[in-house]
Structure 1
Amino acid sequence: MGGPLFRDDAPEPERHSARPDRSAPQPSAAGGNGGRAKKSAGRNLRAAIGVGVGLGVVIIASLFIVKAVFVGVVAAAVVVGLWELTSRLAERKEIRAPLVPLAVGGAAMVVAGYVRGAEGAWVAMALTALAVLVWRMTEPPENYLRDVTAGVFAAFYVPFLATFVVMMLAAGDGPWRVFVFLLLTVISDTGAYAVGWRFGTHKLAPRISPGKTREGLVGAISFAMVAGALSMEFLIDDGHWWQGLLLGLAVAVSATLGDLGESMIKRDLGIKDMGKLLPGHGGIMDRLDSLLPTAPVVWLLLVVFVGSG
């Protein structure tokens, strides 16, 4: 579904003019509203839900009707994600990671992963990295090492991790494996949002993502483990509920780490979102942050539990 519907990031503080608006109701000395501040999700939930549902319909339709169409959807998401990432690097850090070889190599990497599995993905990754090194030689040598390092990182972070999604799809029950992967990631993030918004008081990583709480992490793990047990029992061939508990735990941890990882990148760049393509969500990369690192984890555990298919 392009990523979870919600997240528990703290909203940015509103900017006020120097002159107060006296027409607006003022809080009492006790703090107003009974001394309790009204919690906010920090995003337009109506827009987020609408866009999320629309993306979900497109993803699920392509997933269960024609596998090749879903591979194309993944490749398109990879190309847009690379464009967002390289654009932000250029704008904020003046890092010129070459987009053309990354986009072509990234799309080829996704196709190779689907057709030839892990071997094809690794070969395409190596060729993409080589193309980045050569392409950057057409420009002045200043900051060459910095730019190609960022390019290789982008190739690994976006398209290579995305190849594990299409490698799941290549199995006989591939659509259901991908569906479980998407479902558990969404449920993990939704559990973190719901529990963290209602009960969260202890910060998980305040220097990275101030809105995330330990209570939210517990919610993510609990929701994902329950969903994982049900999914493995009823949706995956030869799956068992106890395997789903382990799968849900792994998804909650990897999705949280993925979210924190992109938060680190965005804080280093000094931005809130990677893009503005999806109302209520930000950019494509803001939806892929939890999915990308979770894909290899789910692929590996499913291979261990029920085989490669």
Structure 2
Amino acid sequence: MTDPDRETPGPRETLSSVNESTWGPTPATGRAPAEPPAPPRKKRAGRDLRAAVGVGVGLGAVVLAALFVYRPAFLVVIAAAVVVGLWELSTRLVERKDVRVPLVPLALGGVATVVAGYLGGTEGAWSAMALTVLATCLWRMFSSPENYLRDVTAGVFAAFYVPFLASFVALMLAADDGQWRVAVFILLTVVSDTGAYAVGWRFGRSKLAPRISPGKTREGLAGAVFFAAVAGALSMMWLIDDGTWWQGVLLGLGVAISATLGDLGESMIKRDLGIKDMGSLLPGHGGIMDRLDSLLPTAPVVWLLLAVFVGVE
């Protein structure tokens, strides 16, 4: 209960007592001292950095072992990534849009497209791709005709987006120095992504595509171009026979642009689906598709530029 004989302190007395107990005596002016400025917030990466690094190192070890110990084993890595990527994409489409793509013919046809690209070149990859599209259309015919066109269209998109683009990695692998071409392709894509992240995190101010990916900045893109160009010049001189530094600069530029567009493209898909990640298979990274977003569209770019610069074989 309140003591009726005790006077209720006025606003100035209350403020003075609070200031005195918290910040010390109030100055003679009667004004409350200004609060100390809050310490600046540190930027955060938004993911578990330790998990991301650990998973990245583990994946890198698997890729390098398969690539340089026994080249055909790398086909298994590509095929596994294609199947898991198709599964993640089809699962999200069902969950968020009720779009039911025929996963079985897509997965089988995706593996066939990768293998055909390695064994039969571009003709083999295109032939397997055409059969995959045909099988997807036929498979869906055994279900309800409702939304047939929508589901088949999504299936054809998935076939081109994942296995067909991945087949260009198999085409690079089939060359005499295939392991080095694939290594350069992966290296430049990783360097481009890392350069964009590091420069954008430290210096990023101007948004690149705020409606699609608010975290992307023009400064980050400049960092991707610079680091990929340097890495490309060094890679072409040291790792690719008959390669020159200026070819590497052009290669790095192409990688930086295609990797950025690929990242933005998947961001657009995820925004349309209303999700942050395509999956959760890789701690700190999301799903397989969240790692393939910049690799897939970069594969045909690197394959084409290397074919122009040093030939297909």
- State the TM-score, normalized to the length of structure 2: 0.88
1:302 counterpart = 2:309 = no
CA shift, 1:38, in A, is 1.3
Mapped to 1, the partners of 2:193 and 2:60 lie a distance apart of 15
- Counterpart residue number, 2:278: 274
Partner residue, 1:256? 260
> Structure 1 residue 98: deviation in Å?
0.6
Alignment of 1:228 with 2:232, yes or no, is yes
Q: 1:31 deviation in Å?
A: 5.3
Question: 1:43 matched to which residue of 2?
Answer: 47
- Alignment match, 1:59: 63
Task: Supply the AA of the counterpart residue of 2:93.
Answer: L
1:102 to 106, 121, 134: 106
Which residue identity is paired with 2:287?
Answer: G
Unaligned runs of 5+ in 2: 1-33
Matched, 1:32 2:51: no
Aligned mates of 2:275, 2:36 — CA distance in 1: 35
Q: Which residue of 2 aligns with 1:194?
A: 198
Aligned residues, how many? 280
* 1:203-226 alpha-carbon deviations (Å, 9 max, x no partner): 000000000100000000000000
Moved over 2 A (4+): 28-31
State the match for 1:215 in structure 2: 219
Task: Identify which of 272, 277, 290 aligns with 2:294.
Answer: 290
- The residue identity in structure 2 corresponding to 1:291 is L
Counterpart in 2 of 1:150?
154
**CA separation in 2, counterparts of 1:226 and 1:50?**
26
Task: Decide whether aligned partners of structure 1 residues 211 and 30 sit closer, same or farther in structure 2, where only a CA change above 3 A counts.
Answer: farther
| Paired residue type of 1:136 | R
Q: Which has the higher contact order (CA 8 A, sep 6+)?
A: 1
- Determine helix, strand or coil for the equivalent of 2:43: coil
TM normalised by structure 1 equals 0.90
Find the residue that maps to 2:214 and give its secondary structure.
strand
Q: 1:17 corresponds to which residue?
A: none
CA distance in 2, matches of 1:211, 1:265: 16
1:29-81 alpha-carbon deviations (Å, 9 max, x no partner): 56511xx3210011111110100000000000000111111001100100000
Aligned to 1:127: 131
1:224 and 1:172, CA in 2 relative to 1: closer, same or farther beyond 3 A? same
**CA–CA distance in structure 1, aligned partners of residues 35 and 93 of structure 2:** 46
Please list every run of 5 or more consecutive structure 1 residues that lacks an aligned counterpart in the other structure: 1-27
Equivalent residue of 2:215, what SS? strand
**Equivalence for 1:244:** 248
- Alpha carbon RMSD of aligned pairs, Å? 0.9
CA distance 1:31–1:155, change in 2 (3 Å): farther
SS of 1:300's partner is: helix
Query: CA–CA distance in 2 between the matches of 1:125 and 1:165?
Result: 15
Show the counterpart of 1:93: 97
**% identical equivalent positions:** 76
Give 1:208's aligned amino acid: I
CA deviation map 1:215-242 (0-9, x unaligned): 0000000000000000000000000000
Corresponding residue of 2:116: 112
Match of 1:203 in 2: 207
Q: Which residue of 1 aligns with 2:18?
A: none
